[in-house]
Every structure is written in structure tokens, then in C-alpha cells.
Amino acid sequence: MITPTKERALKTLCDWARESLTTEHFDARFAGGGNASDDIKTVKNDVVVLLEEVAKGTSCTSEEVHRFLAHFVLIQFDFLREGATDPPDAINRIRDCLAPGDAGKAPLVWSRFVQLARTSVGKSGHFDRARLVRVITPVVRLRGATSLRLDLDKLTELSKSYANRIPDDVGGIKLDRASLLESLDAKLITARVVQVRGLPGSGKSVVVRRAVQRALERGPILFLKAEQLEDTSWISYATSQGLSGSPLEQLLVEVGAAGTPILFINAIDRIEKERQPVILDVIRVIVESPLLDNWRVVVSLRDTGIEVLRNWLGEFLDALKVETLEVGQLTDQEAETLANAKPHLRPLLFGSAQVQEIVRRPFFAKVLNQSYVADPSVPTFPPRSEVDLIENWWRRGGYNESGQSAMERQRVLLDLVRIRARQLSQPIRLSELTSVAHIDDLRLDGILQNAREGISVRFAHDIFFEWAFFHVLADRGPQWMEEIKACGEPPALARVVELVSQWEYTRGRDWRTYLTQTEGSDLRSQWLRAWLVGPLGTARFKADEDQFETAVFADDFRLFRKVLVWFQAEKTSPNPGILAGAFSQEQRQRFAYILGWPSDFAAWRRLIDFILRHISAIPQRLYPEIVGIFEVW
């Protein structure tokens, strides 16, 4: 305890040190005949002891003592006693630390601090910045620590850049899909993780973009995208992005205080294995730190990405309450809004159920609109499957070209995608291309984006990459599996194999031949799985289902059993009723996956109808396995 006498002596000691230009002049005050009183000498000796025993561990020179005292600042607080005069000053200082919109809440923050101080009387309460920030952030938003201001600005800049790279319009028309954002807000109240899921092209990334942009209005956030991760840990990511290297927990505390405590991750199911530690580092800190118990996680992924995601995030998903936001096709109202703006799309948006299944996915509608942007009077063809859409897109060179120009663009796309497939997490360096012709055209048409201007590019959407790689496999013909092997068998290519399987099933002649080749190869089983279940994803499945029946019923229904198991693994999502139930956290997660329900209802209906049409040919011993399919349905 420092007495008033010692307090005055310490203040005088520091003033003398600042007023003395040299150590000799300062020391003269304590020599014989000097003007230092006994109290001042005692305080100086106490300071020297503290410096030597606590701070430095060895003896201090006169120069070190003088320099320390010259920079020592003594602030006198007079807050809690009756008649205290400093609270108004404290409130003004607090106001300077708050976000502009919350500056008026400074008195409320001060009251909270006083309450904390009084609650801790007799308990030796210990408060650091992180604890204080966590206590007051439910009340106000802060400006963020000055020492981390550059980091917060950098995260804001990165988030804006990442969000702006997500295409969010159909020919200039933006569909807000406000009901999805409202549902997201509602789920974030009770869940710590929300999965934004849906079929390819349904607009999952746009929902994330809208949520990110809305959060950025409040301040900094943390937003990560699969294709932007080129590092193997949070530390290396932070360094590559120009962050200071401050402890991750400390940085997240400040992000939550100055902005929104939500980690946004786009396309989490397409993060390559060597990049996953970046995500694991962040989520581990969020789960384990009591200072971050207000943080939430929002991730987007495809309907087929759940199983892959659980393989490397299962430990954390089991520890947190998870809910799912399903992003489906456009509603009638949303389709009407788009049709009013793009009349040439109306016959498709309100066409047959098979056509609507494709065209009412916003990304597919965007591609169709681009195909006819040059002459909207040309009748649009009605795509009944994604394969139809791919062929039309490819025929036009990825936009609305024809003849030699379309062919040249096709060659450039093949060149681009072959490079990308061998380094999925890296941008495509222009120096690796045989030709840069049409690169700028493809960028202007929204198929490519600059990663580093004049140096490297990326595909603007992963579907463009998949559609182009579809034609790489088509170009290889019977050797398509060799191409998969050369790329390292990345799981991200499984959907492309499903699409190739659909084309071969509906238009080719070798679906069963390639099925046999895939089963007999040394590739991982995921490729047989993709080829086998692929046809169930097309509306044309029934048109030639005899080849499917013959293949899966052969050899005592060997492949049919695989279909039943693999389809449930690939095409189900956690049961939301169980996730929201009263079970324990561990039970919720386990039962929700065991009792999952269809993620692609159209594909499930095709499988159910196929089973019912051929039930008489299926032996009764397989009925227990079939029951599992019907239970999910």
C-alpha cells in the first residue's frame, strides 16, 4: 500500500528525473548536500530494489535508474470514494474507446466497471484487457485495441475483397433472398455453428456474401474462403496476409469487441487437406477459449460435403450445437422477380418441373442469361439436366461465342483447368499457359478473376472449373481415370465424375464399361461411388434404367448393396429435428447423422421409385437394408 507521503515523494522523484538532462545531475540530488529528503531517498531505494529483483534480475546502473524514472508516469485515480471528482474524466476516456455509434453508452460502461470493482472487493479480483472486453462487449462495441488496429483494418480489407469476388447477380439483377438471412439470424441465436447447405448453383455463397457484407457494416470480421487459403497453419496465413502475428485468441477477442464475433467460411468442404490446419487452428481456439464463448461459426458447403467435413472437423462439430440452413431453388415470388427483369427466362423459370429444377438455381439462371445476352430474342433451350447446361455453355465457349472464337476459348479453358486440377489451392499462373489469348475476355465474361493482375488468375466460381474439367475427362475418353490419378485423386473432383457418369449414362454407350473399369482399378473407392450414384442425379435416369438395373443387380446384387450404403452417406443431411431437440450435445450430433434425411429430394425420389418398380426382383434378405432407405425418405 502506498501512503500519501510516499505518493508525493514518488511524484517528486519522477519529476526530478525528467528535469535532469544527465544522470550526474540527477544523482547529485541524492549526494551530500543534495536536496532529496529521507522520504524521497527511501522511495528511490524501493524502486531500485523492485527493478533489480523483479524486472531485471541483476543490479541496475545509475543510468538505467534515471532513464526508468524519467519515463515513469504516475496517475492518480479518485473514483470510488464519496465526492470523487474523476468519474466524468473516466467516462470521457471510455467514450474515446467506443465505436462511434455507441459513444453515448459510456456512462453505462462506467457503471458496469464500478459494479465489477465492488463485486471483486475482498476477492482480489484480477482483470486484464481481454476479460474486461469480454464483459462489456454485450453492452457496447469498441474501437479495438490500438496495438491491433492495423490487424483489424487488414481483416476488414480482406473480408471486403473476398466477399466482392463472389458473383451475386443474374445479369445485373440481385435477389436479396431476405428470408434466408432472417433464418440464419434465428439459428445463430441458439446454435454455435450454422451450415449453409444446398445443391451446386443454389446460391449458398451469395447468402454468405450478404451475411458478411451486413456484418462488415458493424466493423471487422474474420472471413475465410477455400480458394484463398494457400498456407498450412494460421500463423503462416497471418504472415502471408500481412497480419502482425499477435496471439490468435487476443485477435479474435478484439474482432468480437469491435465488429461481429462470427467466423465465416465459404466452401469449407472444398478446402484441401494441407490447408485444413488453418481452419482447425481458428476453430480450436474458439471452442477452447472461455473468452470466445460468444463466437459463432457460419460455413457454406454442398449437400454432398457433410461426410467429408466430419472426417476432419467431427471432434469440434460434436462439441458444438450445429444447425443447418437449407438453400433451395428460387421461390415462385423470387422467380417472378427475375422473370420480370429477364422476360426471355420466364418460359424456363415457369416451365416443367425438370426444367425448373435446373433453371431456378440462381447460378444456372445466370449462365443461361449470359448465353443469350447478345440476342435475347433467340429462344432459350429448356435444360432438363445440368449436363444439358454444360453442353450449351461449352458450345458457346463459356459465354456467347461461336465458330473459331468459341473453339479457341475452349482450348484456353482446357489449358487452365488442367493446371488448376493439379494444384487446387493455388491460383493459375499465366506463365504456365501455352497461350494467354482470350484470358481477358474470359475475365470480362465473369468466368475468370484476377488473383494477381498480370500474374495469375482463378475461376470465378468452382462450377466453371468443374464444367471445364468435365471436358478434360471427356477428352481422355477411356483413360479418364488416369487423369484423376495424375491430379492426386482430390475429393473435389468427385462431382465432376458424377456429371461425366450422367452424360455417359444418358448419351454415351460405355457407362457399364467404365463402371467395370473403375471397379477394377487401383483408385480409391470414392470414384466408383461417384460413378455408380451419378445417374440418380439426372432427371433422365428413368429413360434408360435397364442398364442401371443390369449393373447393380448382377453378382447377387453386390453393387446394389453399395448403392444403398453410399447413397445414404452422400445424399443425407443431419436431421434438424434432432439437432434442435433436448438430447445431450453428443447424442444430438450422433443421432442427427444416423437419422439423417434427404439432401437432394429429387435424387432420393428416383432411387425410391427405382426400388419400388423392381421390388419383386429384389430378394427378401435385402429388405432390411432397403428399409433404411425408406426410413430416411
Q: 183-197, pLDDT tens digit by residue?
A: 999 999 989 999 999
Question: Does 240 share its domain with 303?
Answer: yes
Long-range contacts of 167-170 (CB under 8 A, 24+ apart): 167/206, 167/363, 167/366, 167/446, 167/460, 167/461, 168/206, 168/209, 168/210, 169/366, 170/338, 170/342, 170/362, 170/365, 170/366, 170/369
Segment 335-348 shows an average pLDDT of: 92
Question: Of 286, 304, 326, which residue constitutes the final position of a domain?
Answer: 326
CATH number of the domain to which 301 belongs: 3.40.50.300
Determine the Cα angle at 201 with ends 200 and 206, to 5°.
115
Select from 279, 261, 257, 262 the least CA-distant residue to 270: 279
Question: Does 174 share its domain with 308?
Answer: yes
Answer for the pair 534, 498: CB distance below 8 angstroms, yes or no: yes
* 208 is a domain residue: yes
Cα Rg of the chain, angstroms: 32
* 388 is a domain residue: no
Question: Quick one: pLDDT band at residue 592, thresholds 50, 70, 90?
Answer: low
If one counts the domains in the chain, the total is: 4
* 430 is a domain residue: no
pLDDT tens across 369-381, in order? Answer: 887 654 556 666 7
Question: Does 59 share its domain with 153?
Answer: no
Question: Quick one: pLDDT band at residue 574, thresholds 50, 70, 90?
Answer: low
Select from 555, 543, 468 the least CA-distant residue to 516: 555
Residues 6 or more apart whose Cβ sits within 8 Å of residue 99: 140, 141, 142, 143, 219, 258
Residues 6 or more apart whose Cβ sits within 8 Å of residue 68: 47, 51, 60
Place of cell 483413360: 479
Question: Does 152 share its domain with 257?
Answer: yes
Phi, psi of 348 (to 5 degrees): -85, -40
Question: Quick one: pLDDT band at residue 151, thresholds 50, 70, 90?
Answer: very high
* 21 is a domain residue: yes
Residues 6 or more apart whose Cβ sits within 8 Å of residue 585: 318, 319, 320, 321
Question: Of 306, 326, 346, which residue constitutes the final position of a domain?
Answer: 326
The domain of 32 spans 4-71
DSSP letter for 356, please. H
Question: Quick one: pLDDT band at residue 79, thresholds 50, 70, 90?
Answer: low
* 435 is a domain residue: no
Rounded Cα distance between 548 and 528, Å, is 14
Question: Quick one: pLDDT band at residue 386, thresholds 50, 70, 90?
Answer: very high
Per-chain mean pLDDT for the chain:
86
Answer for the pair 4, 73: CB distance below 8 angstroms, yes or no: no
How much is the pLDDT for 376? 58
* 12 is a domain residue: yes
Segment 340-362 shows an average pLDDT of: 91
Rounded Cα distance between 596 and 426, Å, is 35
pLDDT tens across 538-562, in order? Answer: 888 888 888 999 999 999 999 999 9
Determine if residue 254 is left, alpha or beta; phi over 0 gives left, psi from -120 to 50 gives alpha, anything else beta.
alpha
Answer for the pair 457, 451: CB distance below 8 angstroms, yes or no: yes
Question: Does 92 share its domain with 53?
Answer: no
Question: Does 531 share its domain with 553?
Answer: yes
Question: Does 193 share its domain with 153?
Answer: yes
- Please determine, for residue 628, whether its predicted confidence score (pLDDT) is greater than 80: no
Residues 6 or more apart whose Cβ sits within 8 Å of residue 156: 216, 219, 220, 221, 259
Grid coordinates of 175: 435477389
pLDDT tens across 10-53, in order? Answer: 889 999 999 999 999 999 999 888 889 989 999 999 999 988 88
Question: Quick one: pLDDT band at residue 327, thresholds 50, 70, 90?
Answer: very high
Question: Of 14, 36, 71, which residue constitutes the final position of a domain?
Answer: 71
Question: Quick one: pLDDT band at residue 500, thresholds 50, 70, 90?
Answer: very high
Select from 299, 470, 320, 316 the least CA-distant residue to 394: 470
SS3 447: coil
Question: Does 196 share its domain with 312?
Answer: yes
Question: Does 160 share its domain with 91?
Answer: no
How much is the pLDDT for 271? 87
Which stretch of 47-56, 321-330, 368-377, 620-629 has the lowest confidence by average pLDDT?
368-377
pLDDT tens across 94-122, in order? Answer: 888 888 888 888 888 888 888 888 887 77
Answer for the pair 330, 173: CB distance below 8 angstroms, yes or no: no
* 621 is a domain residue: yes
pLDDT tens across 435-452, in order? Answer: 898 999 999 999 999 988
Rounded Cα distance between 144 and 325, Å, is 31
Question: Does 156 share its domain with 98?
Answer: no
Which helix (H) or strand (E) segment holds residue 457: the answer is: strand 456-459
Question: Does 159 share its domain with 295?
Answer: yes
pLDDT tens across 225-275, in order? Answer: 988 888 889 999 999 999 988 999 999 999 999 999 999 999 998 888 888
Distance of alpha carbon 622 from its chain centroid, rounded? 41
* 466 is a domain residue: no
* Residue type for position 238: A
Residues 6 or more apart whose Cβ sits within 8 Å of residue 131: 291
Question: Does 176 share its domain with 310?
Answer: yes
